[in-house]
Amino acid sequence: MADCISYRNTNYFSELLLDYLEEKENLREFYSQFPLLENFKKQVETKQNSFTLEHRKVLVKSLQLQYENVEVSEATQENIQSLTEENTFTVTTGHQLNLFTGPLYFLYKIISAINLAKELKETYPEYNFVPIYWMASEDHDFEEINYFNFKKEKIKWDSTQTGAVGEFSTEGLEEVLTQFREQLSNSDAAEELIQLFQEAYLTHQNLTEATRYIANQLFLDDGLVIVDGNDAQLKTLFKPFVKEELLQQTSSEKVTSSADKLAAKGYKVQVNPREINLFYLAEGIRERIIKEEEVYIVHETDLRFTEAEILEELENHPERFSPNVIMRPLYQEAILPNLCYIGGGGELAYWFELKAYFESQQIPFPILLLRNSALLVSEKQKKKLGNLDVLMEDLFLKQSDLRTKRTQEISNIEIDFSPQKKHLEQQFKNLYQLAEKTDKSFIGAVAAQEQKQINGLDHLEKRLLKAQKRKLKDELERLTNLQDQLFPKQSLQERNRNFSEFYEVYGKGLIQQLKQELKPLQQEFSIIYL
């Protein structure tokens, strides 16, 4: 069972995203097709004309190598093979290699892609649609990914390794498993989690392989295809764009222009481009490439290249060039027959800065779809909500606003002094009229007295509200305790909790229910009752 709430009413999403979802005209130049079912046919035609059979062959060959030592379901094998066909397209989501998947929305992203691919196949049976999970294996911010939360505990992995996190050795994760095991119950589902963690991190050599294993196991029969972009063959396809970036730096100009336009419309700019939006990737390092006069420097290293030398390096070792947040989307769209990118609010915010850059590189800009968001509510929590007689929508309020609203609703006395203020306003209207007829200098004194009286009423209203909150303390505490359970640290559950906390209780049924309830094109926030 699921309910929905509009994204605007959650109070957790930016004005940029809300305006996009409402198709406001002032954002029209920053995206291509809006994510409506009928618009995917147009996107298919656009992508079909720009994606070559040669690219498809390289992609499939690369994926076959990446899956060489992976247990692959028939559905995934068929999807990989189908990518050689001109009528096969992808829908893609991406995520960091967070320890044990990180935040709960990791599941929502992938399920959004799986469900969208199914819905598109039902609508356009003449085409094939493959759900893609793009692993951000080249990222180097280990502090962002080295932990997950479980029952208010932070399960953390400490490591001194550096460079692209996908290449990090999984050595040392036995200690993390021990810490995790201590927090788990003795249920069958808990044992499944231990086995999943153990197989992923203790039998695979690096973080890329471990993350691929987890995603593959969780969605074994859904045809999900997992892509590691840190791949020499795939980067061979991207060489022309890297060369253009090194020599022309078009991305900086185009993205800056778009970012300035968004800022002028009052939106927050999500990312700012560098002059060169590439890293140099080698064992233990992923550092920015900087151009100083005629020399290309790898930041924080002794590596230096002339123009001829760096182009030779690109020709011989394309795998050493790693796109940053500005160029990674272009890389993805250049090597995949992709129609749609599914991301969170922060991700889509930077994609809006990229359309002009895509156009300059003659790569079709994908449809942008906000991933599914959800709040998971247990039977016990639902019952508490019913006993308190509170609307689920109210729990999305800031806690202070929630307490005030609830106090006003259940108080046996009227806390709102609006009638008194209105009466006061009428009295002072008469005094203003009197002042007009006598000495106009008297008007200032009347205005000052009016403000003093209104301030006094405001003060009394606040004191009365505070007194009523003390009187209704027990009920308000029950309400705020429930909100704290569902919105840990006053943030969305999906950004804080890990899937294992729910899987431990509901097992495989959790993922089945999410696949059943989450509808990617619905574009509303889901409340899912477990």
Strand pairing category for 285-292 and 278-282: antiparallel
pLDDT for the residue numbered 268? 94
- What confidence tens digit (pLDDT) does each residue in 50-109 have? 899 999 999 999 999 999 999 999 999 999 999 999 999 999 999 999 999 999 999 999
Cα–Cα distances in angstroms (integers) from residue 186 to residues 149, 181, 190, 194, 497, in the given order: 19, 10, 6, 11, 20
pLDDT for the residue numbered 476? 82
Residues in the chain: 530
- Residues 310, 304: Cα–Cα separation, whole Å: 9
- Residues 337, 429: Cα–Cα separation, whole Å: 70
Cβ-contact 252, 277 below 8 angstroms: yes
**What's the one-letter identity of residue 403?**
R
pLDDT for the residue numbered 441? 67
> 412 pLDDT exceeds 60?
no
Cβ-contact 165, 142 below 8 angstroms: yes
Q: Which of 133, 103, 145 is nearest to 220 (CA)?
A: 133
**What's the one-letter identity of residue 419?**
P
pLDDT for the residue numbered 440? 64
pLDDT for the residue numbered 433? 67
Tokens 């020599």 belong to 247
pLDDT for the residue numbered 411? 56
Tokens 């004194």 belong to 445
Give the residue-averaged pLDDT of 256-267. Answer: 97
- What confidence tens digit (pLDDT) does each residue in 375-410 have? 999 999 999 999 988 899 999 999 989 888 887 776
Q: What is the mean pLDDT of the chain?
A: 92
- What confidence tens digit (pLDDT) does each residue in 168-214 have? 999 989 999 999 999 999 999 999 999 999 999 999 999 999 999 99
| DSSP conformational letter for 158 | -
Give the residue-averaged pLDDT of 227-254. Answer: 97
pLDDT for the residue numbered 129? 98
Q: Which of 111, 131, 134, 115 is nearest to 123 (CA)?
A: 115
pLDDT for the residue numbered 451? 75
User: What percent of the chain shows pLDDT beyond 90?
Assistant: 82
Edge-first strand order for the sheet with 88-95 is 225-228, 128-135, 88-95, 338-343, 367-370
Which residues lie below 8 Å from residue 409, measured CB to CB, with a gap of 6+? none
Query: Which backbone phi and psi does 390 adopt, to 5 degrees?
Result: -120, 145
Residue boundaries of the structural domains of the chain: 2-234+327-373+512-529, 235-323, 391-491
- What confidence tens digit (pLDDT) does each residue in 127-148 have? 999 999 999 999 999 999 999 9
- Residues 102, 493: Cα–Cα separation, whole Å: 12
Residues pairing with 323 in the sheet: 278
Please state the separation of Cα 207 from the chain's center in Å.
21
Edge-first strand order for the sheet with 285-292 is 304-305, 295-298, 285-292, 278-282, 321-323
Q: Which of 129, 132, 135, 173 is nearest to 155 (CA)?
A: 173
- What confidence tens digit (pLDDT) does each residue in 476-513 have? 888 899 999 999 999 999 999 999 999 999 999 999 99
pLDDT for the residue numbered 410? 65
- What confidence tens digit (pLDDT) does each residue in 508-521 have? 999 999 999 999 99
- What confidence tens digit (pLDDT) does each residue in 414-468 have? 566 666 667 666 766 766 666 676 666 677 776 777 677 667 766 655 665 565 5
pLDDT for the residue numbered 11? 93
pLDDT for the residue numbered 219? 97
**What's the one-letter identity of residue 213?**
Y
> 273 pLDDT exceeds 80?
yes
pLDDT for the residue numbered 470? 65
Residue 248 pLDDT level (bands cut at 50, 70, 90): very high
pLDDT for the residue numbered 404? 82
Cβ-contact 61, 53 below 8 angstroms: no
DSSP string of 349-393, one letter each residue: HHHTT-HHHHHHHT-PPPEEEEPP-EEEE-HHHHHHHHHHT--GG
Residue 306 pLDDT level (bands cut at 50, 70, 90): very high
Query: Which backbone phi and psi does 487 adopt, to 5 degrees?
Result: -130, 70
pLDDT for the residue numbered 389? 86
Neighbours of 74 (CB within 10 A): 9
- Quick one: tokens of 125? 């049976």
Give the residue-averaged pLDDT of 155-167. Answer: 95
Neighbours of 530 (CB within 10 A): 17
* Stated pTM of the model: 0.89
Assign residue 284 a region (left: φ > 0; alpha: ψ between -120 and 50; beta: otherwise).
Answer: left
Which residues lie below 8 Å from residue 462, measured CB to CB, with a gap of 6+? none
Return the axis-axis angle of helices 508-517 and 499-506, rounded to nearest 10°: 110
> 471 pLDDT exceeds 70?
no
